[in-house]
Structure 1
Amino acid sequence: MSNKTETLEYPFESLSYNILPGASDYTCLKHNISLTNTSQFRTEVGTIHDNVHIKDISVDENRFFNYTIIKPKNKTVAENVIFLLHGFNEKDWTKYLSWAQAICEGTGSHIVLFPLAFHMQRAPKYWSNKRHMYKLSENRKERYPNIIDSTLSNVAISMRLHAMPQRFIYSGLQSYYDIIQLIEEFKTGKNPHISKDFSFNIFAYSIGGFLAQILKLTNYNNYFSDSKMCLFCSGTTFNRFSSVSKFILDSEANVALYSFLIEHFDKFLKTDNILNHYILNDHLEGEVFNCMLDYQKKRVFREDLLRKHEDQIYAITLTKDKVIPSFEIINTLKGAYRDINIKVDELDFDRPYTHVNPFPANLSSDQQVTDDFNLVFNKVCDFFNA
């Protein structure tokens, strides 16, 4: 860490954990109604009986955890905050520390590194145990001989989403409500390093950008009205992702998730009382979530929202990104008829890189990597400082 910044940690308790699968009855606080779980979409497909497949609502690590703030050493109380949202199936913050440091030094803002549900420090350590995960991956390959990219890195999340694809929505909603909760905690002075009158922006990478768009476009309580959103390798609808990767999802989980969220989602909503309520019944966050799943569905609704905030959104894409392709981000953010004035900068580094690893750590001493890193984060900081 730079001698210009320092790192702090603060505890957080998710008050929205009780939306997660594992209970029989739920309560919607907004409408003050009880909801009975009617979902029949329970399957043993993809499940190997061990403590990877446990009730989501019972995972204490996902409910109680610490979030991190990287701040300028010479600044005690922040007037300006930037939330940094990470990618899919991330297990530690290592690659993001230099990103956060660059944004902190370039903007003078406090950077909040907040983990999404069941990611980073919010997942049981067992799910990252290399020996156990290797064994599970080998078992999974035996069960599905044609599986692609099953690895010890993605087997836990792949098994859980394969067996229960709606986890993607439940954990997404929890993450959404958690960030709203954190903002409200800051506004009440719960964090001594954040002013009650703070302003904030969002820097989001990969799937973190999916959540960032839902937050920004929903604009709960007008909290996000003045917030800028910078997307890096992100910005498209879910069905334009290519998530099969040894670091993200295996092919069986990807097929199950796509089938649930894209091909048959409307049918599943008819049989799932909880999801039906949050997606279709007076929850704008659910409607926005829905419009970000499929490029074709609710396109006009999505594009109207993007157009409304076009001056506050900026995206940086990478030409060789195979997971979230640059042209798909442009299609989504600029609209089907290219009538949305969101600035998108497409970059292409003159060296090997991937979506998961745009700035390879093993080449950190390489001047080209350093120059590429500085190019990206100078653009990020210029956007936030403008």
Structure 2
Amino acid sequence: MNYCQRFAELINLYRQGTDCSMADTKTAIRFFPFGSALRPETLLPNDKAIEENYSFEYPVFLASDNRKHDEAILLLHGLNERNWNKYLTWAEYLCINTGKPVILFPIAFHMNRSPASWSTPRALASLLNFRRRKYNDDRSISFANVALSDRISQNPERFYMSGRQTYSDLISLFETIKSGRHPLFREDTQIDIFAYSIGAFLAQVALMANPGKLFSHTRLFMFCGGSIFRSMHGISRSIMDRAAFEKLYDYYIHVFGSESDDKWSRDEAFNAFYRMISPDRFRAQREAFFEQSGERIKGIVLARDRVIPYQGVEEALGEKKAKERIELLDFPFPYSHENPFPANSSDISSVNRFFTDVFSRAASFLA
């Protein structure tokens, strides 16, 4: 596959909310509406007014025919992303090479679940200048990360709250699909997950909590993901600035879970999230879960990934399980966690080759 060429073609073709067909690959993109239930206890007052977060559409890549399906792949994205550009080629490849629809579902307050002003330079200019003055022109501050950085700096609880809302949305989506109420799928459809970056963290929590046994048979393929929280390094001009990440890290390592009992609902989702924060928290229970998952979990981590290091994946799964199920790869071209397959690379042939190598492994596992 010519990844670099297809990357540009799909970006030009894709329009949020507009169905389309691709005759050359015999696939289509269809959009479906979703209404997230308002749970007042899970969000801060200011966040409850963000309408985009509650009513939105999500895209699905599928074969361009009218048949109903009994298998699906859910694709979960990374932190602080505002468009699907990076994932269009990923989803199309998985769809074509597994024959299954691929659902691109947005995390709360991300993608089209966030106001347009959060990604508009003119609207962010004053906030950007404020943070640059406050933090002495820290070079990690950028237009791309300033909205999330400011929100996390104000309330690091938002990281958990956003995850909780997305977790609840996934339960609703899985229940809709498995009950046969989704127009694309038959009853009892098998749903597997391809998860990248923080999406992998969310998927790990969901599988561990396993509400209503919805995820008992779900397979999970993680790419550039799977780390324990403590070993993640989220300081990036594409993710969040240094001040925000330090606030986030301090809260979840030193404060979260020690508040009064009525601060959070301490259910299985809370417990699963708590186990994924630091390697010494309930290590035995966490590693036992991953051991019992057998061959349902597999993944690839990149050697020069500074955001999600392989060591963090070992700390999450346990060294034995990580060695068995997670491959550590490296590429011969410059790449980063945020951009593992740079379409503007001078070594296009290598980018094409290693994209196909990674995603053929993912497709084989999820087929």
TM-score (norm 2): 0.90
Partner of 2:188: 197
2:151 aligned counterpart, secondary structure: helix
Q: From 12, 16, 19, give the equivalent of 2:34.
A: 12
In the alignment, does 2:288 pair up with 1:304? yes
Q: Would you say the 8 A contact 2:63–2:99 is kept in 1?
A: yes
Could you tell me which residue of structure 1 aligns to residue 171 of structure 2?
A: 180
User: Distance in 1 between the 2:350 and 2:150 partners?
Assistant: 38
- Which consecutive residues of structure 1, in runs of 5 or more, have no partner in the other structure? 24-54
- Which whole-Å deviations, capped at 9, do the CAs of 1:86-128 have from their partners, x for residues lacking one? 0000000011000000100110111000000000000011111
Superposition pairs of residues 204-283 of structure 1, within 5 angstroms: 204-267=195-258, 269-270=259-260, 273-275=262-264, 278=265, 280=266, 283=267
Which residue, 330, 342, 357 being the options, matches 1:375?
357
Aligned to 1:346: 328
Aligned 8 A contact 2:179 2:188 in 1: no
Q: Partner of 1:131 in structure 2?
A: 122
Q: Which residue of 1 aligns with 2:151?
A: 160
- Determine the C-alpha separation between the residues in 2 that align with 1:110 and 1:328: 31
Deviation at 1:341, TM superposition (A): 6.9
Secondary structure, in 3 states, of the residue corresponding to 2:109? coil
Aligned match of 2:73: 82
Deviations along 1:166-192, whole A, 9 cap, x unmatched?
A: 011111100000000011112333321
Query: Aligned residue for 2:90?
Result: 99
Cα distance in 2 for residues equivalent to 1:165 and 1:71: 37
Q: Provide closer, same or farther for how the CA distance between residues 94 and 17 of structure 1 changes in structure 2, counting only shifts above 3 A.
A: farther
Residue 92 to residue 154, structure 1, CA distance change in 2 (3 Å): same
Q: Kindly provide the amino acid, as one letter, of the partner of residue 352 in structure 1.
A: P
CA deviations over 1:130-182 (Å, ceiling 9, x no partner): 12223311211111216340111001110011010101111110000000001
Mapping of residues 284-303 of structure 1, within 5 Å: 284-303=268-287
Note if contact 2:149-2:241 (Cα within 8 Å) is conserved in structure 1: yes
Deviates further, 183-192 or 159-168: 183-192
* Cα pair 1:240 1:295 within 8 Å, conserved: no
Deviations 1:239-273 (A, max 9, x none): 11000000001011011111110122243x22x72
Structure 2 residue identity aligned to 1:251: R
Counterpart residue number, 1:49: none
Q: CA RMSD in A?
A: 1.7
SS at match of 1:109: coil
The residue number in structure 2 matching 1:384 is: 366
Q: Relative to 1, partners in 2 of residues 1:245 and 1:339: Cα closer, same or farther, differing over 3 Å?
A: closer
Do the aligned residues in 2 keep the contact of 1:8 with 1:70 (CA within 8 Å)? yes
How far did residue 342 of structure 1 move?
4.3
CA distance in structure 1 between the partners assigned to 2:350 and 2:306 by the alignment: 21
Count residues in correspondence.
345
CA separation of 1:284 and 1:20: change in aligned 2, threshold 3 A: closer
Q: Offset at 1:75?
A: 5.7
Gaps of 5+ in 2: 1-9, 11-21
Q: CA offset at residue 375 of structure 1?
A: 0.2
What whole-Å deviation, never above 9, does each CA across 1:263-293 have from its counterpart, x for those lacking one?
Answer: 22243x22x7232xx2x3xx11110011011
Q: Distance in 2 between matches of 1:216 and 1:76?
A: 29
- C-alpha distance in 2, partners of 1:296/1:125? 40
Alignment correspondent of 1:35: none
> Contact (CA 8 Å) 1:84, 1:113: kept in 2 or not?
yes
Length-normalised TM-score, structure 1: 0.85
Q: Secondary structure at the match of 2:215?
A: coil
- Whole-angstrom CA distance in 1 between matches of 2:74 and 2:182: 15
Counterpart-to-counterpart distance in 1, 2:158 and 2:296:
30
Question: What secondary structure is seen at the aligned counterpart in 1 of 2:251?
Answer: helix
Q: Note if 1:359 corresponds to 2:350.
A: no
**CA separation in 1, counterparts of 2:311 and 2:44?**
39
Query: Amino acid of the residue matched to residue 57 of structure 1?
Result: K
Structure 1 CA distance, aligned partners of 2:109 and 2:121? 17
Residues 299-334 of structure 1 deviation map (CA, whole Å, 9 limit, x = unaligned) = 11111111110310001010110111123223322x
Cα separation, 2, equivalents of 1:75 and 1:100: 19
